[in-house]
Amino acid sequence: MTTQRLLLVTAAALAGSMSASYAGPCSQEIDRMQPRVDAAVEAAARAGPAGPESSAALRHRQPTPGSIAAAESKLGKASSQMVEAAVAGMARAREADRAGDQSACEEALAEVRRAIDPASR
């Protein structure tokens, strides 16, 4: 009886992991683009002027991409537009990937590429 339960639990876990790991039509492209976006955002953050910590930061709250972009725009960083475009493009790509819309996903990734690499325009 114990062996049957173990077999059932193992089969259920295997079936669950297979459905959870289903990849959309451009998941691999998204996975390849994410490190490039992360590096571009980090480089943009290091390039501009620093600002004071907000009161929210002092309360140990994690910043969101939107709050970071808003703070950078107050500092006059041109790179905040790049960050906003890249983050929004990656979100659109993931949404299109989940929906199975490869052309929309590829279009969103192309926008991300243009945002993080001005030479590709």
pLDDT truncated to tens, each residue of the chain (121 aa)? 455 544 444 544 454 444 445 578 999 999 999 999 988 888 877 776 777 777 777 777 777 777 776 776 676 655 678 888 898 999 999 999 999 999 999 999 999 999 998 776 5
> Residue 17's pLDDT is what?
45
> Residue 34's pLDDT is what?
93
Do the beta carbons of residue 64 and residue 91 sit within 8 Å? no
Q: Where are the domains of the chain?
A: 24-120
How many Cα atoms occupy the beta-carbon half-sphere of 93 within 13 Å? 24
Which structure tokens are listed for 39? 């590096």
pTM for the whole structure = 0.62
